[in-house]
Amino acid sequence: MKQAIRFFSAMLAIMLAWQVSQAQNRAITGTVKDPNGDAIIGASVIVKGTTTGTYSDENGNYTLSVPSNATTLIFKYLGFKTQEVALTASNVVNVTLEEDVLGLDEVVVTAIGISSEKKKLAYAVQDVSGEQITAAGNNNTMQSLGGKVAGLKVISASGAPGSSVYMQLRGTTSITGDNQPLFVVDGVPLDNSYNYSGNPDNVGALINNNLLESVNNSNRAIDINPDDVASITVLKGPAATALYGIRAAHGAIIITTKKGGAAGTGKGIHATYSSTFTYEEVNKLPDMQNQYVKGSGGNIASYESGSSGSWGASVDTLFWDPSQETAFNKYGQIIGATAAANTPGAIDFVPYDNLDQFFRKGHTFENNIALSGGGDNGGFRLSFGALNQDGIVPLSTFDRYTAKLAGETQLSSKFNIGGSVTYIKSGGNRVQQGSNLSGLMLDLLRTPISFDNSNDSDDPTDPSAYILPDGRQRNYRGGGGYDNPYWTINQNPFVDDVNRVYGYGEVGYSPWTWLKLTERLGNDFYSDRRNQHFAVGSRAIPDGQIFTQDYFYRHFNNDVLATATKDFSDKFSASLTVGNNVFSQYTEQVYVQGDNLNIPDFYNMSNASNVLSRNSVGRYRTYAFYGSLDLGIANQLYLTVTARNEWSSTLPQDNNSFFYPSVAASWVFTEPLGLSNSKAFPYGKLRASWAQVGNDAPIYVLGTYFSQVTAADGWTSGIAYPLPDRDGNQTTSYGYSATLGNPNLKPEKVTSWEVGADLRFVNNKIGLDVTYYESKSEDQIVPAPIAGSTGFQQQYLNSGSIKNSGFEVALNLTPVKTKDWKWDIGVNWSTNKSEVLSLAEGVDILFLGGFEGSAIYAVQGQPYGTIYGGRWLRDASGAIVIGQDGYPIPDAQIGVIGDVNPDWISGINTTVSWKGLSLYALFDIRQGGDIWNGTRGALTFFGRTDNTLDRGTTTTFEGNVGVFDQDGNLLYDANGFPQTEGKNTTEATLDQAWYQGNGGGFGPVTEQFIEDGSYVKLKEVSLTYSISPKALERTPIAGLDISLIGRNLWLQTDYKGVDPETSLTGANNSQGMDYFNMPGTRSYGLNVRLTL
């Protein structure tokens, strides 16, 4: 920490030196205007071959101090063609910029912080502006990318404050590794880990911390304040990310932050203030029945009963009997109509709506303020942000506070410096989820309509809702079974607290105009403390528990690079970059768990009878040299060749060096055809690229190591040693871990290629970008099962392979563009097909995550992310086999029952502008992609879902009738398929026995609860009015925008659970599971943005 403080203190001192740096040589002044003669505000004016520059002010005027040897000025502004003007003896240079309808001069940031004009790129990239990120008031940078980039899949775990977000570009390329893209902020990698909560011994187990006794945590890119983002460039394929090597094998999200200066406002000190307030509501809940009460076989169960199902009587026959007092309900016990006829004062029964009573209207209040300033030689930006969220679940919160200082300055004609430092403090009170007897949705949704969880109290903290007068828990199962939801939020809190600092310092030296040397040192470190306690009497852990978990993360990233750029003639240009990268990472986890609390409500480790502790440390380092050569020929042919050689500390010494090459070429074919000035077809480019990247091994899998011994039962965290002997003494016991080391591993390798076309029509009113790609991942490092006779369970091997292929389409339309009106439409569409080509020798299925009855697997010959589970028995034609009793027959073997991958995803955005009024909308579409609706399966067993309303009726199941011998045994043909004879006509009864047997979620068949996760949602919408500059010219206000905003306002789906954009396991590879997940939210509110 001390080293980091010294580093950032020194960096800031250098960065702020722009204030005292002196301009040299002569001053050039002038005005920048558009073709109509109007001033262009914020146009950049740069001395060619240097980083010396400034911006035009609100009148289009600029002043720039230029060195004596300067020969040319470059004028740039978004939407206009870049113009170079030769300097003469005159100190006045006025320019009129020509509108760039094609946008070909637009610059995007690619690998290692290198900027490039879009027309020169030979691979697919997409960029998103900072205004698009914050258009609808989204406070999560990851979420804000959903639907805006072709080929980018974005899945929010839930609507809970601070929930995680899973991102994936072009499918899965690593079977068991992290498949999310690399985040890079201002040229420096940023950690986006998703760290599990709870006992580390459970992570990776069949029932792991995501599913049992846990919450959904944030992945760390949530710390990025969207208001600090200037632009985001998404690098999709390996050709675009080869220079980043290992860490960008799955693509990269390149974020450029705001750094100040006078862009858009002129010189001097300027301030911007933004305030957003929104309300949040539940956008979708599972389809439930509200007709039958707690009980079994149509009979009413008393409030004191431990009965769990809603298989009791119908509500239209019920009453309350006040004379039968009970501490569980103020109206008394429930009785039937016959008993009520003989009971004076009987009260008509009214079912409780526990869902409506429990969920509240959440709200978010976000404020951002920034001060920026600049002059001829540099600028700075100082920003502060405060985000405060109260979720739809009472007492759930998430808060984030950010402070950022950034700046850059030209110290002389040869030296420039820059950098930034960001501090974040975030955390909140999170909600229990999943297969957890204290899980909120599990408790809430299983509660029958005959029980009032709130006990008629509107105060979610009122103890009378969840504690009986005798101190026992008040819940619908007579105090046992599951926690009352109000008990969960009050008695079992989970709180996290994150402190993070990241940033970079950069020094540039240009000995000649064609050469620039740069060193960029980046730092990212954070601490993440989590505290959880379960009160004595909690159903998940009846004897009580407390744990404290600390994650520590730190990395340093240093790049030293040299870039030489030369225009040899009007027909030939070249740029060469060579560099060195050193990346060093340190992680540590400290976990202490106390069980069996002696004194209730005293949450201190000294109060625990048994204490378990775990401490793990990880050190990781890579070292690399890289280079990139860019050639431009005749303003139409462009070639980029890159190479990177990397050494990793997680690989054996003999195999720790690996080489990553890429080559990309493009041809602007409209140039030789003379179409550049054509209005019908002014621009067309063909491009192709090939690249190799890869992954290294997880840390510490080369050797076999020891771990503290535990005895597990597959459902709980088990028993941890040491155990006391008969004298009370404890001896720590260690044994070999379950993983056998492999000192012969080599890196994974991903080889890919892509072809595409970028086309513009009708004076750029129609733009079409199309890409086809293929990739093949080989030498996958997978934890392969090995024979138990070895004394181990698994060993990491180079033994797997995955193939991906797909199309990406980006279509941009401008149907209307006049002086006052403009209408823009953007469409992103993509599809990806994956196939697991091979796993380890003798292994054709590999577990990724989930439950024993339904889990996500990598299956050889199937798409990555296959749902494997119980299914119905089928004959050779694929028809379900029906038994003699009219019911379908379960298959004794589990198999493939679903595919989590969507057929395609799309985003459609539209913006209509009229003078100062602008209406924006974004639709997010997913077609296909299966989800295991485990929530519906479980609730079917308990009689809570709407499909159990048909109880007592009969149906004829579709399928073919099986052929049985005289002993009732099903007969099979020579190919192993069951024999059948004709379609089934036998009726079967849909009763409690069916739904709590083969027809329910705890039966052997999970196939029946696999659902299509397709949806269409209105993801973002905003209506903005910008006050005209003329109306503000007599005020100190430079700009004022007022917006009505909304997110997820409309959702169309056939999925019967919560919002199908959901993930039980958070930001990891096992997507497609819904087991009492938290619901999604819709939000609406107001945003005000003020510029001074």
Looking at the fold, whether 244 and 390 belong to one and the same domain comes out as yes
Per-residue pLDDT tens digits for 906-922? 999 999 999 889 999 99
| Least confident stretch, 136-145, 315-324, 440-449, 721-730 | 721-730
Looking at the fold, whether 342 and 369 belong to one and the same domain comes out as no
Is residue 367 scored above 90 in pLDDT? yes
pLDDT band at 20 (very low <50, low <70, confident <90, very high): very low
Residue 164 CA to residue 144 CA, distance in Å, equals 13
What would the mean pLDDT of 619-633 be, rounded to a whole number? 94
Residue 1049 lies in a domain: yes
Name the residue with higher pLDDT: 34 or 1001. Answer: 1001
What lies within 8 Å, CB to CB, of 119 at 6+ separation is 104, 105, 638, 668, 685
Looking at the fold, whether 433 and 459 belong to one and the same domain comes out as no
Looking at the fold, whether 384 and 472 belong to one and the same domain comes out as no
- Bridge partners, residue 273, by sequence: 369, 1090
Tell me if 12 sits within 8 A of 421, measured CB to CB: yes
Residue 691 CA to residue 821 CA, distance in Å, equals 44
Residue 1008 lies in a domain: no
Name the residue with higher pLDDT: 698 or 1038. Answer: 698
Q: To the nearest whole percent, how much of the chain has pLDDT over 70?
A: 92
Is residue 241 scored above 50 in pLDDT? yes
Is residue 113 scored above 80 in pLDDT? no
Per-residue pLDDT tens digits for 866-879? 999 999 999 999 99
| pTM score above 0.85 | yes
Looking at the fold, whether 626 and 773 belong to one and the same domain comes out as yes
Tell me if 176 sits within 8 A of 781, measured CB to CB: yes
484, 506, 538 - which closes a domain: 484
pLDDT band at 338 (very low <50, low <70, confident <90, very high): very high
DSSP string of 606-668? GGEEEEEEEEEEEEEEEEEEEEEEEEEETTTEEEEEEEEEEEETTS-GGG-EEEEEEEEEEEE
Looking at the fold, whether 231 and 367 belong to one and the same domain comes out as yes
Tell me if 431 sits within 8 A of 440, measured CB to CB: yes
Query: What's the CATH number where 202 sits?
Result: 2.40.170.20
Distance of CA 316 to the CA centre of its chain: 46
Query: What's the CATH number where 48 sits?
Result: 2.60.40.1120
User: How much is the pLDDT for 556?
Assistant: 95
Residue 305 lies in a domain: yes
Looking at the fold, whether 503 and 603 belong to one and the same domain comes out as yes
Looking at the fold, whether 654 and 681 belong to one and the same domain comes out as yes
Decide the pairing of beta strands 794-817 and 739-740.
parallel
What would the mean pLDDT of 432-457 be, rounded to a whole number? 92
What would the mean pLDDT of 935-948 be, rounded to a whole number? 97
- Tell me the pLDDT of the chain averaged across its residues: 89
Is residue 270 scored above 90 in pLDDT? no
Looking at the fold, whether 40 and 158 belong to one and the same domain comes out as no
What lies within 8 Å, CB to CB, of 123 at 6+ separation is 235, 236, 237, 239, 240, 664, 687, 689, 754, 756
Residue 940 lies in a domain: no
Q: Respond yes or no on whether the N-terminal peptide bond of residue 35 is cis (omega within 30° of 0).
A: no
Per-residue pLDDT tens digits for 760-808? 999 889 999 999 999 999 998 888 888 878 888 888 899 889 999 999 9
Residue 508 lies in a domain: yes
User: How much is the pLDDT for 725?
Assistant: 59
User: How much is the pLDDT for 102?
Assistant: 58
User: How much is the pLDDT for 355?
Assistant: 96
User: How much is the pLDDT for 266?
Assistant: 46
Tell me if 55 sits within 8 A of 43, measured CB to CB: yes
Is residue 205 scored above 60 in pLDDT? no
User: How much is the pLDDT for 927?
Assistant: 97
Looking at the fold, whether 769 and 906 belong to one and the same domain comes out as yes
Per-residue pLDDT tens digits for 804-858? 999 999 999 999 998 889 999 999 999 999 999 999 888 888 888 887 678 899 9
Looking at the fold, whether 630 and 523 belong to one and the same domain comes out as yes
Residue 998 lies in a domain: no
User: How much is the pLDDT for 200?
Assistant: 81
Per-residue pLDDT tens digits for 709-721? 665 544 444 555 5
User: How much is the pLDDT for 23?
Assistant: 39
Per-residue pLDDT tens digits for 997-1049? 999 999 999 999 999 999 999 999 999 999 887 788 788 888 899 999 999 99
Residue 118 lies in a domain: no
pLDDT band at 1066 (very low <50, low <70, confident <90, very high): confident
Looking at the fold, whether 221 and 334 belong to one and the same domain comes out as no
67, 100, 133 - which closes a domain: 100
The number of distinct structural domains making up the chain is 3
100, 133, 160 - which closes a domain: 100
Residue 1007 lies in a domain: no
Residue 321: give the domain boundaries: 294-350+439-484
Name the residue with higher pLDDT: 24 or 1061. Answer: 1061
Tell me if 400 sits within 8 A of 424, measured CB to CB: yes
User: How much is the pLDDT for 793?
Assistant: 84
| Least confident stretch, 92-96, 289-293, 728-732, 755-759 | 728-732
